[in-house]
Amino acid sequence: MSDNDDVPFNRDFPLRPGVVQEVRPGVRRILCDNPSPFTFTGTVSYIVGRGKVAIIDPGPDDETHAAALLEAVRGETVTHILVTHTHRDHSPNTARIKAATGATVHAEGPHRASRPRYESEKMSSESGADRAFRPDIAVRDGEIIEGSGWALQAVATPGHTANHLAFAWQDRKMLFVGDHVMGWSTSIVAPPDGSMIDYMASLERLTGRSEDLYFSGHGPEIPDGPRYVRFLIRHRQAREASILHRLAKGEADIPTMVRAIYIGIDPRLTGAAGYSVLAHLEDLVARGIVATDGDPVIGGTYRLAVS
C-alpha cells in the first residue's frame, strides 16, 4: 500500500504478460496476466537454471500462463517446482506444471494460519488461500534444494503467510523473496493468515544475509535488498507509531484508525489496510502496550494500556 512515501518504491516494471525475459544469466521471468490492486501488474514466475530448471511460483489457476511457462522451457527439463507460499496468485498452477513435467514440488507445507482463529473469526472465509496445495517434499529452513547448475537454500520468512519461504541462490547473491518483500509496495500482513510479529522478525532476518539482489512475486527486482528491507522496517515502525499516536487521543476502532493513518488510500485497499492495522494491534496487545476487550479482532475497539 502506497500510503507512505518514505520507502523507495519502484513501480517501473514494463514486462508484458507471457513474455520471457532473461533478467540475469540463469534467471528468466514471466508475468501472469492477473493484475489487481493486490498483485500490481500480476504474478511473476521465475525459471532458474538452463537445461534442467526449477520453476518458482507457477502462479494462479491460469491455463494461458501455464502454457507460456511450458513454452519458455520447451526442449528443457523442469526438475523442480518451488513455491514460496500458498496464496491463490502463487501456487494453484503448480498442478498444471507438475502434470506436464513430472517435476517434484517443494514448499514449506500446506496452507495454515499464523494463529488459531478466535471464535468471532470462525465464520470469515479466507478467499486468498490455496487450501488444495500439497508439496511433494516439505522443505525446512536452511535446506538446500540442488539442481543442475543451481542450488537454492530455503529461508523461512513467515509473516505474510505462516508457510512463506524465500529461496537463496547463495553463489549468485540472489534471493527469490516471494511476497515477503516487494519493490512496488509493502506486503499485506493480515491476521490470522499473517502475523506482524513474525513478519518483522523475517524482515530483520534478511538484513543479516549476504544476498543483495531480490526477485519478488510481483513487480521489479530490488537491487539492494537489505537496504530496502531496512526502509520497510522503519516504515512499519512509523506505522506502529501512528497507531499509538491516534490511540493517545482516545480509544478507537480499526476503521477510525485507517482513516487517520492511510490518507488518500485506494478505496479498494481499505479492507486490507484494516487487517494491516489489526496485525500491528495484535502485536501491540501481545506486548502489553495496547488493550482491547476480549481477543484482538477486526471489529474490536482499542485503547492504550494503562501502565
Q: How many residues of this chain bind Zn ion (CB under 5 A)? A: 3
Please identify, using beta-carbon distances, which residue of 188 and 252 lies nearer to Zn ion.
Answer: 188
Residues 262-291 touching Zn ion, rule: CB under 5 A, are none
Smallest distance from the beta carbon of 129 to Zn ion, in angstroms? 12
Nine-digit cell string for 60? 494462479
Measured in degrees and rounded to the nearest 5, phi and psi for residue 278 equal -60, -40
Residues 180-239 touching Zn ion, rule: CB under 5 A, are 217
Smallest distance from the beta carbon of 262 to Zn ion, in angstroms? 20
Tell me the window of 26-34, 85-93, 203-211, 239-247 that interacts with Zn ion (CB under 5 A): 85-93
Smallest distance from the beta carbon of 181 to Zn ion, in angstroms? 12
Please identify, using beta-carbon distances, which residue of 89 and 211 lies nearer to Zn ion.
Answer: 89
54 Cβ partners below 8 Å, 6+ apart?
Answer: 47, 48, 78, 79, 80, 81, 82, 103, 145, 147, 150, 152
241 Cβ partners below 8 Å, 6+ apart?
Answer: none
Nine-digit cell string for 70? 511450458
What's the CA angle centered on 305, arms 244 and 236, to 5 degrees?
30
Tell me the window of 88-96, 163-171, 244-252, 299-307 that interacts with Zn ion (CB under 5 A): 88-96
Smallest distance from the beta carbon of 130 to Zn ion, in angstroms? 11
62 binds Zn ion (CB under 5 A): no
95 Cβ partners below 8 Å, 6+ apart?
Answer: none
Please identify, using beta-carbon distances, which residue of 29 and 246 lies nearer to Zn ion.
Answer: 29
Smallest distance from the beta carbon of 128 to Zn ion, in angstroms? 9
Residues 157-186 touching Zn ion, rule: CB under 5 A, are 179
Q: Is 108 helix (H, G, I), strand (E, B) or coil?
A: coil
Q: Alpha carbon 53 to chain centroid distance?
A: 23
Terminal-residue alpha carbon distance, the chain: 33
Q: Is 38 helix (H, G, I), strand (E, B) or coil?
A: coil
Q: Which of 3, 61, 62, 89 binds Zn ion (CB under 5 A)?
A: 89
Smallest distance from the beta carbon of 209 to Zn ion, in angstroms? 21
Tell me the window of 50-58, 82-90, 195-203, 299-307 that interacts with Zn ion (CB under 5 A): 82-90
Smallest distance from the beta carbon of 204 to Zn ion, in angstroms? 22
Smallest distance from the beta carbon of 32 to Zn ion, in angstroms? 10
The residue type of 285 is V
The residue type of 52 is K
For the chain, the 3-state helix, strand and coil shares in percent, each to the nearest 5, are 30, 20, 50
Tell me the window of 89-97, 247-255, 284-292, 298-306 that interacts with Zn ion (CB under 5 A): 89-97
Cβ–Cβ under 8 Å, residues 113 and 128: no
Please identify, using beta-carbon distances, which residue of 88 and 246 lies nearer to Zn ion.
Answer: 88
Please identify, using beta-carbon distances, which residue of 33 and 76 lies nearer to Zn ion.
Answer: 33
Cβ–Cβ under 8 Å, residues 184 and 221: no
Interface residues with Zn ion (CB under 5 A) are 89, 179, 217
